[in-house]
Structure 1
Amino acid sequence: MASIGIIGSEGRMGRAIAEAVAATRHDLAGGVDRGGDLGTLAASCDVLVDFSSPAALPANLEAASRAGIPMLIGTTGLSASDHALIEDHAARLALLQTGNTSLGVTLLASLVREAAARLGPEWDIEIVEMHHRRKVDAPSGTALLLGEAAAAGRGVALAPNARSGRDGHTGQRETGTIGFAALRGGTVAGEHSVILAGEQERITLSHHAEDRSIFARGALRGAEWLIGRAPGRYGMEDVLGLGSHTATGPA
């Protein structure tokens, strides 16, 4: 039985994770939100689960470091400097960072990587996502995760090849680019489709989230898996045995 602490406990995901913990043999050590006593929480649990905000990430990582406990980071909208900070702390801690904790999305990303690798750049890749009206970042963390998977399959970096927000007279599509389209409305938990379009044929790989509880269950499974791991930066693909982790030291 593990003791789990939640950062961002008053948010939608925080509440969903608390419900998921209650349905298992694990113990909820507690939760904090803005202004809460993070140090006390970190000292009283086996693993932290962070679904707060990018602005809170430095303090959250520092608290985990002081307590010497692993942390799952599910916060989206992270910047390059946020990722650099995660890399720095991963030299001392087991950190699992992901744009989506769904096990189905994790498998989808693996399929996208494989498809992109085998089909080649002559197949156009477009990623379409839709979320509820209250989501503040776009493209979604999941869309970027899928874009990274497609880029990895092609052996290229995503940033210079990503295209989003097409409007007006943009000219014809550039070969090898990866397109993003973001839709917002209603109460959609999350829908993502990766379209691979070739000459006279098209493949669509999709995932539809029907309830936020799938992300909570995935986050809980990731948190369980993270306990006792060696320092390093991990992803949900490691939880499913689909990737090679980046452990940096002994357990």
Structure 2
Amino acid sequence: MAVPVIIMGAMGRMGSMLVRAVRENPAFTLAGVVDREEKLEEAKTLGCPASSQVQQVLASVPGATIIDFTSPASSLHTAHAAVAAGARHIIGTTGLTKEERATLEVLAQKTPIFWSPNMSLGINALLKVLPELVRLLGPDYDMELMEIHHNRKKDAPSGTALHLAECVAEARDWPLAETACYHREGIIGERPKREIGIQTLRGGDVVGVHTLYFMGPGERVEVTHQAHSRENFVGGALRAALWLQQQPAGKLYSMQDVLQ
């Protein structure tokens, strides 16, 4: 039986790609869409329930799975609605604070919720292998990270950059909040050993580039992931949506759970 899916922000860049992918995949059916009032006339041409309020769409599509690449505030609101309706919720939103993530963890005790700031299988494979690379290189290697995204991205650094930085910081047993450096200017002195530089570039239509640098005595190791299109995020979200159908409530799931 096809999984009924509700797409948040269906007329946006990610939303429209998700709509097309869901329609083309026989494992899913487009059961409803949500977008802003000014886009509803266009959304209604998709031939399924459309509203600016996710609660209204959920009421007409019981048991649906929501796929959500919107904003932190919108995703938290939708998560509450998913709990009330007993719906599953796939979240690819970036820029969530620790408090917002903690709220999702509480809500995930009541209904199956999946959150990943990057749905790419490549990025999530990197998150698996990076701790071993940090261990093998040892403490003599300084760690830095640079990310590049398009000029319309609203959060900085990207959620993926922060996730990668948290990964390597934990591998060194460092709290990222105490060791991250987001800005350097002026006479700042020598670089501390206990530091991870995280730099942000914005411009053009770059989908996403993340590079980790490990700089040690006489050599440098660079690990780069380049997203060439948003299709890999769409594919990851649909894979997660299928996987979540078999999972109970009880924890905030991530792509690491899917890969395992």
TM-score by length of 2: 0.87
Equivalent residue, structure 2, for 1:40: 56
**Unaligned stretches of 5+ in structure 1?**
242-251
Q: Does 1:4 align with 2:5?
A: yes
Q: Which residue of 2 aligns with 1:28?
A: 30
CA distance in 1, matches of 2:255, 2:64: 19
Give structure 2 stretches of 5+ with no counterpart: 38-51
C-alpha separation in 2, matches of 1:82 and 1:50: 15
Indicate yes or no: 2:140 matched with 1:138.
no
Name the residue aligned to 1:101. 119
**In the TM superposition, what whole-angstrom CA distance separates every residue of 1:117-153 from its partner, at most 9, and x where no partner exists?**
3333331111111111111111111111111111222
Hey, what does 2:106 align to over in structure 1? 88
Whether the 8 Å contact between 1:42 and 1:48 is mirrored in structure 2 is no
Paired letter, 1:239: V
Give how far 1:6 is off: 1.3
Summarize the Cα distance change of 1:117–1:8 in structure 2 as closer, same or farther, 3 Å threshold.
farther
Per the alignment, residue 240 of structure 1 pairs with 259
Q: What residue is the counterpart of 1:171 in the other structure?
A: 189
* Correspondence 1:1-251 to 2 at 5 A: 1-25=2-26, 26-34=28-36, 36-43=52-59, 44=61, 45-231=63-249, 232-241=251-260
C-alpha displacement at 1:10, in angstroms? Answer: 2.4
- 1:106 maps to a residue whose letter is N
The one-letter code sitting in structure 1 at the alignment partner of 2:33 is G
Among the aligned pairs, what percent are the same residue? 40
Higher relative contact order (CA 8 A, sep 6+): 1
**1:174 positional shift:** 1.4
Q: Report the alpha carbon displacement of residue 58 of structure 1 after superposing the two structures with TM.
A: 2.9
Measure, in 2, the Cα distance between the counterparts of 1:21 and 1:238: 22
Secondary structure of 2:186's counterpart equals: coil
Post-superposition Cα deviations, 1:14-44, rounded to whole Å, max 9, x if no partner, equal 1111122122111111211246120133341
* Structure with the greater alpha carbon radius of gyration: 2
Output the amino acid matched with 1:9: A
Q: Normalising to structure 1: TM-score of the pair?
A: 0.90
How far apart are the structure 2 equivalents of 1:142 and 1:132? 14
Post-superposition offset of 1:113: 2.4
> Which shifted more, 16-25 or 130-139?
16-25
SS in 2 for 1:78: coil
1:133–1:185 CA contact under 8 A, matched in 2: yes
Instruction: Quote the Cα distance in structure 2 between the aligned partners of 1:118 and 1:53.
Output: 38
Root-mean-square deviation (Å)? 1.6
| Partner SS, residue 168 of structure 2 | helix
Which stretch shifts more, 63-72 or 155-164?
155-164
Pair 157,41 (structure 1): closer, same or farther in 2 beyond 3 Å: farther
Partner amino acid, structure 2, of 1:148:
E
What code does the residue aligned with 1:23 have? Answer: E
Matched residues in 2 for 1:169 and 1:81: separation? Answer: 35
1:154 offset after TM fit, Å? 2.0
- Aligned residue number for residue 40 of structure 2: none
Q: Which secondary structure does the structure 1 equivalent of 2:70 belong to?
A: coil
Size of the aligned set, in residue pairs, is 241
**Shift in Å, 1:105:** 1.0
